[in-house]
Every structure is written in C-alpha cells, then in structure tokens.
Structure 1
Amino acid sequence: MPAITSGRVLVTGANGFLALYVIRALLEQGFSVRFTVRSEGKAAFVREFFAAHADRLEGVIVEDMAVPGAYDAAVPDVDGIVHLASPVDITNPGPPELVTRPAIGGVENLLASVQAHGDKLKRWVQISSVAALGADLSPSAHYTEANWNDASLAVVAELGAKAEPIHKYNASKVLAERAFWGWIEEKKVAWDGVAVLPSLIMAPDLQYAHSGTPTVGLSFGLIPLLRKGITAAELDDIMPWHTVDARDVAHAVVTALSTPEAGGERFIASSGVLAVNDVALAAAQLLPNVAQGNADPALRGSFASRSYVMDGSKAERVLGFKYRPVHDTLVDTITSVPAEIFAAA
C-alpha cells in the first residue's frame, strides 16, 4: 500500500505532550487531523490550541479506549493513523494487568474498529517506546530495532504485582506493540504498519506555554533534580539516559506516514546520551538558583562510557532527517520553564 502525503490522519491521545507536536507537524504539512481525547474539556483545549487550523481539525471523544467499539466513530474515512494513546504509569504497585490490559486493549480495539469501518486506511504509525527493546541498562547493552524486551515480560510473569513498576510499564509497551504487529500478520491487512520507538522525550512544553498548565513532560520532571543545594555526588549518581527531541519525533512520525520504504519497519527515535550533570551545567547558565553541576571534562566524558547504546541511526537514514543536537534540545527545554518554577522546587 502506498504511503500518504495528504488526506485525513487520526491521532489518538491528542492532548498529550508528544501528541501536540505531532498534530502541529501534520497540520503544517497540509494534512487534516481527526483526534481523540477522553473528555469534551480536553477536546476544547485541542481545538483552541489549533484554532488557526479549525477547518482541518475535528475531535472525537473516546472515554475508555479499552471498551470494544470505542474507536468506531473515529476511523471512517481516515487515510492514516498515529496511535499515541496509552497508559503512562511507571509507579503502579498493583497487578501488572492494571497497566498492560488498557495498553493492549486500546491497540486491539482500534485495530478492530479499523477492520470494521476503516477501509480507507493506508498507513498506521504505532508510537511504542524504547522500553519495548530491553531492560539491561549496563554499558555492554547495545539496542537496535531487532531487540525485544523479553526480560521485563519474564519478570512480570514471575513476580506479578511484586515486580518493579518499571517492568510492568515495559511489559505494556512490548505487549501493545506485539499485538499491533501480530494483527497485521494474522489478518493480512491491506494497509502498512510502522512503529516509532522514542527514548525519553524532551522539548518545550507546548501546553504549558499556551495555558500555564503543564503536561507530564520531562521538562517538569527535571525540576526537582536541579534544585539549589543538590550535591555533585547526587548528580553523578543518577544514571545517564537516552533522549530525543519531541520535534524530531513528530517529524519522524509524519515522514513515516509519507515514506514508502518505512512500511513494515520499526524505528528507534533517540538522538544521544544526557546526564543530569549536563542538565545542571546548562541550567546554571540560564537560570538563577539552580544546581551548578560539575564541568570537569573527565567526569562528563565518563557518562557516555557508563551508558548503554541506543542506536537511532536507522530513522535518520530511512526517514531522511538529522536529530537536533542534545544540547540544543536541553537549552530549549530549560528556557521554556519559568525561573520561578525552579526557584520553588
């Protein structure tokens, strides 16, 4: 099935941190967008946010994506789908099914709705996560699109509710993405599937900039780590992570819809390694009263050697773009957060 360069794209979970960037990118490329959210209040926010494109924007309320038929009204006459809606719970102390069931159910119900009512669909981009790749965070780990996180599945199967919450979250990502690919294989569908797997996403919080109400974005998750008085030892003790700019992920998603070669592929979206110490160094140049960090080149160089490898080069190669430098993303993210918020942390 050919890729799409115009038409209507369904975006689920439209009021989320990444979703706003994806919708903006789609509208900028001339697509029409049908979006889903869980309430009329959230729909009103999305409509108001993109008021300049009201003629190419429509919303559908999906209160519970795990209910069969929940997406029946959303899929008719769509040429593409970007499925973002999924539970984001890395603290669940209960049974893993509290996280895995809605993630899988959301995918399967959307797939069933497409089968029944989505005969125009040409391409579906499933937003997964690098959490679906593996649980080994040691320096010897090297992740590509060929990897699957069977380790977290095994932990959850053995320990159930006693498993660490992060393994339950990881399992939800693995099982949801496998449900997606399994349906495509089993049903021999007429459309193409693509999966995009971002690492930790950073960027200015569009919702906060627009309304003063933050989404659950990394820009706000970093704030407690940069409080004045945090020690260099504390900064050094936090494991470096792999990150990517939301604007790059949004670009990758739109390009995945329109690139024929992307069909049937998985793409890691990850631009590089970032340590909290690097965040502190950048923040100290931009904001008062935050942790200072340690500028020692030897220390900073050690962070990369202590990190696992997350290879995001396939996305650049096939989708034809270059990631923003991590430092640029970092500066943009920090400067989007008012200084008084850091001061109050």
Structure 2
Amino acid sequence: MKKALVTGGTGFVGLQIILQLLNRGYDVKTTIRKDSGKDRIIEILTENNVKNIDNLSFIKADLSSDDNWEEAMNDREFVFSVASPVFFGKIKNEEDAIKPALDGTLRILKAANKTGVKRVVMTSNFGAVGFSKMSGLTTEKDWTDENTKGLSIYEKSKLLAEKAAWNYIHQSNVNLEFATVNPVAIMGPALDHHVSGSFDLLKNLLNGQMNRIPNLSLNVVDVRDVARIHILAMETPTADGQRFIASEDGQISMKKIAQLIKTKRPEVSERVTNKSMPDWILDLGSFFNQEAREGKLLKDMNRNVSNKKAKEVLEWEPLSNNEETVLSAVDSLIKYQLI
C-alpha cells in the first residue's frame, strides 16, 4: 500500500486529493492545525461515500513551526505539499506574506529530505508562471517576473516560494524527487463551505458587488482535475523535475460567465449586471490604486495557456470544461449558502 502525506487536509484542494487517494487505495496521513479538523474531514468523506476511510490518519502540524513535521513524514514515501500559510484580514506588508510562504515551503522540503521521502509534489499556482506574459503561448517554461506591475502580494509570495523550492531541490545534499502543479483559477464542486479564493469573482458577480463587468477572460480548472494532476505527478516516473499547468482547455470571459449564470441559473442571477466596464476605467485606475493595477494585469495578461504537458507526460484528460467548471462552482455557492 502506497503511503502519502497530504499537508493541509481541510483545504479546498487538499480534501479532493485525500478523497481521490483513499479511493485509489492509498494509506493517507494528513496534517491539521486544529483537532476539529479531524471530525470535519471524516464527516465530509463519509457524506461523499469515500472508500477506505480507515486508511486515513491525522497529525497536528503548522507551517509556522517545526513541530511534528519529521514525525509526520517518517513512514511516508510521498508528500503532497498543499497547505499555504493562513492570513487573516488584508495583507498590506509584502514581508508578512512572503516570509511565511518561503519558510513554510522550505520547512516541508527539509523535513522530507531528512526523513527519506521519495517524492514531493508542491501546489504552486499560475501566478508563478504566466502573469508577465502578454502574448504568444504560455507554458511551464515561463516564469512570472516578480516586479510585474499589478502582481498581487499573494501571487508574488507563491512565485517566490516556488523559486525557493527549486533552488533547494537543486542543492547537492538534497535527494528528493520533486514536481509542482500550477493551477489557474480553481473552481468546480466544493465538498463543503471551504472554497478557493477564485470563487470571490463569482461571489462578487452574484452579490451585485461587481456593478460593471470588466473586459477580461479567465483560465479556470475544476478542483477534481487539480487533485488528479497532483496524483499523476506523484505516480508518473517522468514527472520528476517538472512543472505542470492545471487548466481546462481554452478560456472563458467574465461576460460569458455572467450570461451563463443568467441562462443556466436564473434563480440566482437577479443581481448579475449586464453593464460592461470600459477598458479605460481600469487603465486609468491603475495609476492610483493597487486593486485596479491587479485588475488591469488580469485584463492584459496572455490567456492562451497550454495544458499540453499534463496531457502528454501525465496522460491526463480534463474531467470538465470551462462552462461546467463555473456552473458547478456556482452550485456550490448556492448549496453552502455562500451568496
């Protein structure tokens, strides 16, 4: 029986990875920050008729402390580094986000190297890949420039954490196989009320907080596909040393998302606006505030994103498409009363 550790088991992606690993017959251990996380995870897995729940164990560990990480990995062959540092409120100081992200990433890798783990698959994000590219085809060979105007503190922290991880892996005294998964906006069906930050776009649209729709497109991915790519990156020998963009085929515009909700989910579309935001509003606003700069970057960046590498190296095929991924996310917002 293959033995894996999943960090951050209560998270949106972590839960899906645990679910799929158990259904595939893995012995799974997961880290939780609070004792209440154990009951919550078991309840969710039971509700979803997950197999082999008895193969799941728990250990308390936090990215901000060295406590228990070596114990968590001592008998594990594989580690899924999914957890991210938890922030409360708006992050104003870059160092408050970047240092915990770097420290937490290196803490995981050092413990894995010390305890003889075979392979670590790290959840990075598309913010480390394609936020500086304005044209052409974006692939795993691309890296975001940390000085890109409009890059959010969160995206910058993920970028620098992934760079630090690769720098560590390439050291001569490190004997770890390593791969990263770089998801675009993660949506799809949630297993409980815990959803990704990408759902905020849909929340703002559905709640009427987005009173004009910007002229921007999104690359989206179903959370089940993200989990599947993680597992394939762990199981595929040739995935060692590789990055994998996790994205459905193509892209979808915010305008199309609004139309999709109005057509397919009219019962929650009352506050979804029909008004468009002229490009000049974001362009002008970008001179004055960070939120507009971030919006302008999302509008201007290249959305021609390749998922070819995951298909060819991992033999992965998308479970969902853009429209289904968005609608299942909307359904989760309705189901868990998040709008």
Q: 1:279 aligns to what?
A: 257
The 3-state SS of whatever aligns with 2:170 is: helix
- Between the aligned partners of 1:130 and 1:230, the Cα distance in structure 2 is 24
Deviation at 1:91, TM superposition (A): 7.5
CA contact (8 A) 1:43 1:61 kept: no
> TM-score under structure 2 normalisation?
0.81
Residues 307 and 108 of structure 1: CA distance in aligned 2, closer, same or farther (over 3 Å): closer
CA contact (8 A) 1:202 1:243 kept: yes
- Between the aligned partners of 1:93 and 1:230, the Cα distance in structure 2 is 22
- Between the aligned partners of 1:48 and 1:341, the Cα distance in structure 2 is 19
CA contact (8 A) 1:90 1:168 kept: no
Q: 1:199 aligns to what?
A: 184
Deviation at 1:220, TM superposition (A): 5.3
CA contact (8 A) 1:7 1:79 kept: yes
- Between the aligned partners of 1:339 and 1:45, the Cα distance in structure 2 is 17
The 3-state SS of whatever aligns with 1:309 is: coil
- Between the aligned partners of 1:61 and 1:90, the Cα distance in structure 2 is 20
- Between the aligned partners of 1:171 and 1:305, the Cα distance in structure 2 is 18
Residues 16 and 276 of structure 1: CA distance in aligned 2, closer, same or farther (over 3 Å): same
Query: Out of 140, 145, 149, which is 1:145 matched to?
Result: 140
The 3-state SS of whatever aligns with 2:72 is: coil
Residues 206 and 221 of structure 1: CA distance in aligned 2, closer, same or farther (over 3 Å): farther
Query: Out of 125, 132, 137, which is 1:136 matched to?
Result: 132
- Between the aligned partners of 1:42 and 1:197, the Cα distance in structure 2 is 26
The 3-state SS of whatever aligns with 1:197 is: strand
Kindly provide the CA deviation profile for residues 147-197 of structure 1, in whole angstroms up to 9, marking residues without a partner as x. Answer: 122x22x36xxxxxxx86x43222211221122222221045333111110
Moved more, 16-25 or 48-57: 48-57
Opposite residue 198 of structure 1, the aligned amino acid is P
- Between the aligned partners of 2:24 and 2:92, the Cα distance in structure 1 is 43
Kindly provide the CA deviation profile for residues 16-42 of structure 1, in whole angstroms up to 9, marking residues without a partner as x. Answer: 111111111111111111101211112
- Between the aligned partners of 2:261 and 2:185, the Cα distance in structure 1 is 18
Query: Out of 155, 162, 165, which is 1:170 matched to?
Result: 155
Query: Is residue 249 from structure 1 mapped to residue 248 from structure 2 by the alignment?
Result: no
- Between the aligned partners of 2:203 and 2:170, the Cα distance in structure 1 is 44
Identity %: 27
CA contact (8 A) 2:137 2:305 kept: yes
Opposite residue 188 of structure 2, the aligned amino acid is A
Q: 1:218 aligns to what?
A: 198
Q: 2:171 aligns to what?
A: 186
Residues 219 and 93 of structure 1: CA distance in aligned 2, closer, same or farther (over 3 Å): closer
- Between the aligned partners of 2:99 and 2:209, the Cα distance in structure 1 is 42
Deviation at 1:198, TM superposition (A): 0.4
CA contact (8 A) 1:22 1:250 kept: yes
Deviation at 1:114, TM superposition (A): 2.0
Please list, as runs of the form range in 1=range in 2, the aligned pairs for 1:22-41 lying within 5 A after superposition.
Answer: 22-41=17-36
- Between the aligned partners of 1:270 and 1:97, the Cα distance in structure 2 is 30
- Between the aligned partners of 1:340 and 1:76, the Cα distance in structure 2 is 37
Opposite residue 14 of structure 1, the aligned amino acid is G
Query: Is residue 308 from structure 1 mapped to residue 306 from structure 2 by the alignment?
Result: no
CA contact (8 A) 2:5 2:28 kept: yes
Please list, as runs of the form range in 1=range in 2, the aligned pairs for 1:1-345 lying within 5 A after superposition.
Answer: 6-51=1-46, 53-62=52-61, 64-87=62-85, 92-116=90-114, 118-119=115-116, 121-136=117-132, 138=134, 140=135, 142-149=137-144, 151-152=145-146, 154=147, 166-208=151-193, 214-219=194-199, 221-227=201-207, 234-235=212-213, 237-271=214-248, 272-284=250-262, 285-290=264-269, 291=272, 307-323=302-318, 324-338=320-334, 341=337
Residues 137 and 183 of structure 1: CA distance in aligned 2, closer, same or farther (over 3 Å): closer
CA contact (8 A) 1:201 1:218 kept: yes
Deviation at 1:55, TM superposition (A): 1.6
CA contact (8 A) 2:97 2:154 kept: yes
Residues 260 and 337 of structure 1: CA distance in aligned 2, closer, same or farther (over 3 Å): same
Moved more, 241-250 or 273-282: 273-282
- Between the aligned partners of 1:170 and 1:229, the Cα distance in structure 2 is 23
CA contact (8 A) 1:39 1:61 kept: yes
Deviation at 1:339, TM superposition (A): 7.6
Structure 1 gaps of 5+ residues are 1-5, 156-162, 209-213, 295-302
Deviation at 1:330, TM superposition (A): 2.0
The 3-state SS of whatever aligns with 2:204 is: helix
Opposite residue 244 of structure 2, the aligned amino acid is F
- Between the aligned partners of 2:310 and 2:122, the Cα distance in structure 1 is 14
CA contact (8 A) 2:121 2:233 kept: yes
Opposite residue 69 of structure 2, the aligned amino acid is Y
Deviation at 1:135, TM superposition (A): 2.9
Deviation at 1:245, TM superposition (A): 0.9
CA contact (8 A) 2:221 2:247 kept: yes
